[in-house]
Amino acid sequence: MAEAVEYTLQQIGQHNNRNDAWMIIHGEVYDVTKYIQSHPGGMDVLIEAAGTDASEAFDNAGHSDDAFDLMKPLQIGKLRGYKKKKTKAVLAEPIPSSKRNDSTSKEQPTSKAIHCTILSLGTAALYYGLVTHGSNLEIISKASLLGQRLLTFGPKLTVASSTVSSISSKPSFFKGLLVGAGTLISIHTLLARKLLNLILQDQSPRYPFHIKVPKPAEFNLLQQRGWLDSSAASFPIPLAKKELVSPNVYRLTFNLPSSHPILGLPTGQHVAITAVINGETVTRSYTPTSNNADKGILELLIKVYPDGKMTNDYLAILNIGDEVHFRGPKGAMRYSQHLCKKVGMIAGGTGITPMYQIIRAICESDRDTTEISLIYANKTEKDILLRQELDTFARRYPNIFKVYYVLENHSPEWTFGSGFVTKDMMSERFPSPSEEGSKVMICGPPGMVTAAKKTLVSLGYKQPGASGKMSDEIFVF
């Protein structure tokens, strides 16, 4: 086009059905009417986005670069008044624990010492009144008043001051006050310092007690920004370790730059890998099994398929030291401990990776009491990925996490589910849709996902939209 035609939001909004579908993607206007039938993600996705700005949904879907080539013939103009946002890639580093502790240790002892001083003075005043003047009700009442004023540290300290003046006629009062206060200040300061040192020690266990009590919010490492930046281009990092964990599954570990040891991937989101394979640019999305707590690395669990362009023709043949280009974070899910109270999960094959990321975040937190029930389907027992880790979580946190395996083919000794995931399995193991704060997540082969959604809707869960939203009762990764 010599000069792009400009359209307003109102004009684009009129083209909002399957027979006349326009949409906006990053300021460009596309007529996708003829492409609806051919869309790999199904017609509903495009029909729902027709007449709207679909930029966010497009980015979250993790499209390959080939998609941009297919879109070019569909472009018909631009959005009037659209200005591309200028973004600057900033890789933020969290405050080192040593610095946080230093700054805290400088402030806390001061406030503790003041508190201990006030507490000691109040206690001494009460002690004097009771011990030295047990028979004098007037002195006891005045000492008690002074003690209360000091213990509460109220704004009207003038009352306490006048009380001291009235009692000061008794010389032994100040002697008892000073001796008692001095002794108590010494004891309280020593105890406060020891207690403060214990609190500030960074010795959090990797696996806390399974009986969890909700506590106030604190610094959350899993939500911190790091090496990844969604507003920046892809970054190359080298392969550090390659492990074959089953006949067709690899665990790949990549080393992050030493200057940015935190990955910066919010729980529930994924990364995209882009590579030129046999002259073709290919992009695929994967959910790491590592998180921000695994400093310095990015870990993937990938299953190699014979016809897989990315897995078979690229990732499976990587050598140690080879660099891979990553981009992200991406995805509509951004888990937090307040997302739901109970969650059911259905995973198939490598669809376990986003589930594992959330399961791990919940089980390794001593504040998250979300209850999880996972149904994990595979063809054979050797196809079960991350089984050791899942069984460990189930054993350590029986009140938090339960897992039920389902196999198509198994030995006679198999004690879990057989065949396919059924309606009865979901009804028995998942929270009721009538329970407030309940949700079900699905990730796996397309056939399994479609069947699971229909079954869950028949059980009473609300039908999700074409594009996944965190508020959906049924969320599909």
Catalytically annotated residues = 270, 286-287, 443
353 annotated ligand binder: yes
82 annotated ligand binder: no
448 annotated ligand binder: no
303 annotated ligand binder: yes
Pairing of strands 235-246, 75-79: unpaired
Pull the structure tokens for residue 426: 């979901």
Residue that the structure tokens 């199904």 belong to: 42
Pull the structure tokens for residue 279: 């002259």
Backbone CA torsion sign across 216, 219, 220, 224: positive
For 371, 437, 439, 453, 457, the CA distances from 472, given in Å and listed in that order, are: 18, 11, 8, 12, 12
- Residues in a beta bridge with 286: 271
286 annotated ligand binder: yes
Q: How far apart are the first and last CA of the chain?
A: 37
User: Edge-to-edge strands of the sheet including 75-79?
Assistant: 6-7, 75-79, 28-31, 20-25, 16-17
Supply the Cα-derived Rg of the chain in whole angstroms. Answer: 31
Rounded to whole angstroms, the Cα distance separating 164 from 146 reads 8
Pairing of strands 20-25, 28-31: antiparallel
Pull the structure tokens for residue 266: 């919010």
Contact 272, 328 (CB under 8 A): yes
Pull the structure tokens for residue 112: 């503790």
Burial of residue 236 (number of CB atoms within 10 Å: 0-12, 13-18, 19+): exposed
Residue 440 is given by DSSP the state: E
456 annotated ligand binder: no
Could you please report the per-residue DSSP string of 367-394?
Answer: S---EEEEEEEESSGGG-TTHHHHHHHH
Q: What region, left, alpha or beta, does residue 221 occupy, with left being phi > 0 and alpha being psi -120 to 50 degrees?
A: alpha
333 annotated ligand binder: no
**Is omega for the bond preceding 329 within 30 degrees of 0, making it cis?**
yes
Binding residues: 284, 286, 301, 303, 309-310, 353
Binding residues for FAD: 284, 286, 301, 303, 309-310, 353
